[in-house]
Chains A and B, each alone.
Chain A
Amino acid sequence: AQSVAQPEDQVNVAEGNPLTVKCTYSVSGNPYLFWYVQYPNRGLQFLLKYITGDNLVKGSYGFEAEFNKSQTSFHLKKPSALVSDSALYFCAVRQLKAAGNKLTFGGGTRVLVKP
């Protein structure tokens, strides 16, 4: 079975400050890891993914995430947050070599960036 935990329901950060959204996962074998963002009344938008290779992956809108196998974590980061980054962020995992490409999502973290 695969699972994802996002330990923070909400993260508050001042505009211009670094933003980190935490994610830990549990999966058999090696994972595929994804971050999505959801704005009000919109679907989930893909931000970035880790498949293999460099542990630091870069994605859309200046976001990046660091894969840490020993800590089974995949934290999302942005060096300088914008007010427009305020949204709901979801981490997701997929087990390698599993049929069907099922994604398992964390519970989501609401990010509030204050001016």
Chain B
Amino acid sequence: EPEVTQTPSHQVTQMGQEVILRCVPISNHLYFYWYRQILGQKVEFLVSFYNNEISEKSEIFDDQFSVERPDGSNFTLKIRSTKLEDSAMYFCASSGAGPEDGRWEQYFGPGTRLTVT
């Protein structure tokens, strides 16, 4: 069964450093997403991406964050200058597309645990 994969599984970085989290969505999916979960809190939406542009972003997704689909398979989340409060589990997800796109369930990767020290 196709899966969303994410690398690395755990990333430790110092405050102020740039990090790039990588995801390989399911191959025939066209919508891509990033969510995060701070320890003990809800899963929060960050951004959705379709047709090579951002479809929607949350207030969390400020200028420090960016997403990119550099090739036909990868989808990345970059945090330019990490803060302590960016420590969280980051989940990538993907879904199919077509008429009434919201009907399609999103498939999640296993997550990248980001620890900012």
Residues of A within 8 A of B (CB): 32, 34, 36, 41-46, 49, 51, 90, 92, 94, 96-108
Contacts and interface: CB of A to CB of B under 8 A. Distances in A.
B43 A102 contact: no
A78 to B, nearest CB: 19
Interface SS majority for chain A: mixed
A90 B43 contact: yes
B55 A34 contact: no
B107 A102 contact: no
A46 B105 contact: yes
A46 B106 CA distance: 7
A90 B91 CA distance: 14
A102 B48 contact: yes
Given A34-B105, A100-B56, A101-B106, A44 B45 contact: no
10 contacts: A44-B43, A49-B105, A96-B102, A98-B56, A98-B102, A100-B48, A100-B57, A102-B58, A103-B33, A107-B42
Most buried by A among B31, B41, B106: B106
Interface of B: 4, 6, 31, 33, 35, 41-45, 48, 50, 55-58, 91, 93, 95, 101-111
Nearest to A96: B102
Contacts of A101: 31, 33, 48, 55-56, 95, 101-102, 104, 106
Contacts of A96: 102
A94 B91 contact: no
Contacts of B48: 100-102
Pick the 4 closest A-B CB pairs, nearest first.
Answer: A100-B56, A100-B55, A43-B108, A44-B108
Contact of B102 (A42, A44, A94): A94
B56 A43 contact: no
A102 B45 contact: yes
Contacts of A105: 42-44
Nearest to B91: A43
Most buried by A among B35, B48, B50, B102: B102
B45 A43 contact: no
A99 B108 contact: no
A50 to B, nearest CB: 10
